[in-house]
């Protein structure tokens, strides 16, 4: 039985060798709550044509397994909703102690900022309507 929201093995960084290669040669970016490393896929090493996620959320982030697992769940959710247009490669997310107890929105905002630093995500436009379709506020214009 397959679940629509399952996180497949093909979307995960699994082996120690893949983690080591990403830590050694990947582009790094820091945020307030996380540190991320992205290693673009090289044709000779890669078997997947999409971005993959690896996580290293240790006991230094929080002693309680419940909180570490919550952080992992939120990272997976963030990744699932945003990686469709990213280049193929491995994204490794490591946690910082400041991530413990922080709201989901703050975690996602920090990850979005890091993704922009790594060049994975384009900045979102301020509006969704073209400039000519906007009407001036009352009292302005004429």
For residue range 1-51, what is the model confidence (pLDDT) as tens digits? 556 667 788 889 989 999 999 999 999 999 999 999 999 986 435 555 688
Region of poorest pLDDT, from 39-43, 59-63, 96-100: 39-43
Are the CB atoms for 44 and 59 separated by under 8 Å? Answer: no
Query: How far is the C-alpha of 24 from the C-alpha of 18, rounded, in Å?
Result: 10
Q: What is the pTM of this model?
A: 0.77
CATH code given to domain 10-121 = 3.30.230.10
DSSP state of 88: S
Are the CB atoms for 111 and 36 separated by under 8 Å? Answer: yes
Domain chopping of the chain, boundaries: 10-121
């Amino acid at each position: 039985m397959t679940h629509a929201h399952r996180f497949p093995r093909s979307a995960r960084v699994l082996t120690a060798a893949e983690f080591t290669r990403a830590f050694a040669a990947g582009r790094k970016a820091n945020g307030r709550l996380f540190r991320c490393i992205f290693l673009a896929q090289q044709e000779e090493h890669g078997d997947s044509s999409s971005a993959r996620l690896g996580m290293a959320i240790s006991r230094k982030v929080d002693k309680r397994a419940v909180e570490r697992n919550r952080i992992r769940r939120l990272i997976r959710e963030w990744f699932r909703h945003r990686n469709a247009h990213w280049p193929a490669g491995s994204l490794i997310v490591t946690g910082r102690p400041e991530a413990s107890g922080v709201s989901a929105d703050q975690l996602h905002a920090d990850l979005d900022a890091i993704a922009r630093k790594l060049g994975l995500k384009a900045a979102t436009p301020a509006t969704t309507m073209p400039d000519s379709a906007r009407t001036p506020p009352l009292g302005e214009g004429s």
